[in-house]
Structure 1
Amino acid sequence: MQAWIVVGAWAFAVVFAVVVLGFAGYEITWKTRRLAAERAKLEQVAAELARTGAQLQAAAERFR
């Protein structure tokens, strides 16, 4: 009887560990994809800011 309790506890621990590790893997994958998408947007905004800064600098040079 006690052996079944030990086996059941170990089986539960293994299943629980698989579920937790699976969820952690999913979260890491999802956050990595989200970070890549947000990084691409940020790089686009940075490029636009650089273009705008260059235009402002050119306008300042023309004004002088």
Structure 2
Amino acid sequence: MQGWIVAGAWGFAVLLAVVVLGFASYEISWKSRRLVAERARLEQQMAELTRLGAQLQAAADRLR
């Protein structure tokens, strides 16, 4: 009888570990994909701000 309790406890622990590790790996992969997408968007905005800065500098040079 006690052997079944120990085996059941170990089985539950293994199942719980698999669920927790599966969820953690899903979260890490989801956040990694999100980070890549956000970085691409930020790089695009940085390029746009650089172009805008160059245009503003050119306008300031023309005003002088």
User: Is residue 57 from structure 1 mapped to residue 57 from structure 2 by the alignment?
Assistant: yes
| TM-score between both structures, scaled by the size of structure 1 | 0.99
Q: After the TM superposition, which segments of 4 or more aligned residues of structure 1 sit over 3 Å from their partners?
A: none
Aligned residues: 64
Unpaired stretches in structure 2, ≥5 consecutive residues? none
The Cα RMSD (Å) is 0.3
User: Is residue 14 from structure 1 mapped to residue 28 from structure 2 by the alignment?
Assistant: no
Report the identity percentage. Answer: 75
User: Is residue 40 from structure 1 mapped to residue 40 from structure 2 by the alignment?
Assistant: yes
Write the letter of the residue equivalent to 2:41.
Answer: K
| Separation in 2, partners of 1:48, 1:63 | 23
